[in-house]
Amino acid sequence: MSRKVVVTGIGLVTPLGHDVETIWRRMLNGESGVGRITIFDASNYATQIAAEVKDWDVDDIGENPADWKNQDRHTKFAVGAGYKAMKDSGLLDEGAQSLDPERFGVYTGAGEGEQSFSDFAEMMVAALDENGNLDEGKFIQKGMEILNPVRELEQEPNMPAAHLAAMFNAKGPNVNCLTACAASAQAIGEAAEIIKRNEADVMIAGGAHSMIHPFGVTGFNLLTALSVSNDEPEKASKPFDKNRDGFIIGEGAGMLILEELEHAKARGAKIYGEIAGYGATSDAYRITDTHPEGRGAISCMKLALEDANVKPEEVDYINAHGTSTGVNDRVESLSIREVFGKYAYQIPVSSTKSMTGHLIAAAGATECIYCLLAIRDNIVPPTINFETRDPDCDLDYVPNVARKVKVDVALSNSFGFGGQDVSLVVRRFVA
């Protein structure tokens, strides 16, 4: 008999807040988390806006901030969301009575930590001679003087998974994948597969990322991928709108407690839904461009539906990747039409990135959680800032206002730079 995987706990740290219910309420109200960049001085950058996490630190979960001085934002976000998910699941209260540490693992899709622009600049200044030539020896020497080895280690993408395992005594599989914008969705899919293979009973799965720093913003500006609508930050993220001009970079974390069904039932856990289907493919095209005919997106959606044994007409809601870039939104729309045929026009499709910005590696996990909440409450969040229809984007994008609709099955799409494509199917659990 196949082992089913259900979600028994969820935790979020996002630009819309630090707890699930606040974030969900603000999302259903169509509120934006986008504003001027405050983490660093962005006044001379082409893009001066982002979706930042505000007023949060590890002391919010009872940790001593002094113990976390070397940890990066992505790890702090992961720890916060992971703690909230564990508490929500009831596993913190039950402790060792219901958890075998050897059967409890962590799978994250987390990005790298903040790269210190000021340290790099100081090293470059020290290494340049009067003619502007670089002395690599002096560059390295200055780095040895000013860099904190622990701080540098904590920037590694696997640090969130390592800290979560140590905090909760998770001695089972411990993995991090970094497949760009598909990372945390892939982490959920792969964590579910570990449980299905009987290699674990419980997994913390999700992702965390923060790229709101000079290197991150500069890199995406060089790709001309970011919006430069600096005068109206709240209106800058406009997925599927004809006048979209790029995505808004965001930050945060989303963590889910995945649990084998019988294990969850034995301890009387509440169940948000089932991770029913997982599809992962590659465009095998270009590292910065989605395949123009959506071949990777189409195949991963089909694989996820097949894995879930769900027919296209049984899907009640799609949380789109919906970045607010010209190419992504057009290609995702045509891919949905290809997979769902005429039924595509009857499915509510919304992009929550219109409110949170794009959380990069953390996007897929947070959006999977929004699908579970849509199932719980039978309401789908809107795509805000949708004002002018694009002829190439002709689906029902739930414009500007949340909608009450029965949701039993939801599909979440995550498509990453490099051509990595992941789709997840989540389904209402019926005992």
Q: Which domains does the chain have, with CATH numbers?
A: 5-114+155-427 (3.40.47.10), 117-153 (no CATH)
CA–CA dist 282, 303 (Å, integer):
12
Task: Give residue 96's pLDDT.
Answer: 46
CA–CA dist 34, 212 (Å, integer):
12
Q: Which residues lie closer than 8 Å to 97 by C-beta, 6 or more apart?
A: none
CA–CA dist 73, 96 (Å, integer):
29
Q: Percent helix, strand, coil in the chain (nearest 5)?
A: 40, 20, 40
Is-contact 206 188, C-beta < 8 A? yes
Query: Which pair of structure tokens corresponds to residue 4?
Result: 């089913």
Q: pLDDT 10s digit of each residue in the chain, 431 long?
A: 579 999 999 999 999 999 999 999 999 999 999 999 999 999 999 999 999 999 988 877 877 777 777 788 889 999 999 999 999 999 987 654 578 999 999 999 998 766 666 666 666 777 787 777 887 887 777 767 766 655 555 667 788 999 999 999 999 999 999 999 999 999 999 999 999 999 999 999 999 999 999 989 999 999 899 999 999 999 999 999 999 999 999 999 999 999 999 999 999 999 999 999 999 999 888 877 788 899 999 999 999 999 999 999 999 999 999 999 999 999 999 999 999 999 999 999 999 999 999 999 999 999 999 999 999 999 999 999 999 999 999 999 999 999 999 999 999 999 988 889 999 999 999 88
Catalytic residue chosen out of the listed positions 18, 358, 371, 393:
358
Query: Which pair of structure tokens corresponds to residue 377?
Result: 């409450």
Task: Give residue 144's pLDDT.
Answer: 73
Query: Which pair of structure tokens corresponds to residue 216?
Result: 């991150």
- Supply φ then ψ for residue 253, to 5 degrees: -155, 150
Catalytic residue chosen out of the listed positions 18, 74, 177, 181:
181
Sign of CA dihedral 218, 224, 226, 229: positive
181 catalytically annotated: yes
What is the identity of the amino acid at 35? Answer: G
Catalytic residue chosen out of the listed positions 321, 368, 371, 393:
321
* pTM, two decimal places: 0.93
CA–CA dist 66, 80 (Å, integer):
16
Task: Give residue 117's pLDDT.
Answer: 60
Beta bridge partners of 426: 275, 410
CA–CA dist 362, 352 (Å, integer):
13
Task: Give residue 115's pLDDT.
Answer: 61
Task: Give residue 431's pLDDT.
Answer: 81
Task: Give residue 233's pLDDT.
Answer: 97
321 catalytically annotated: yes
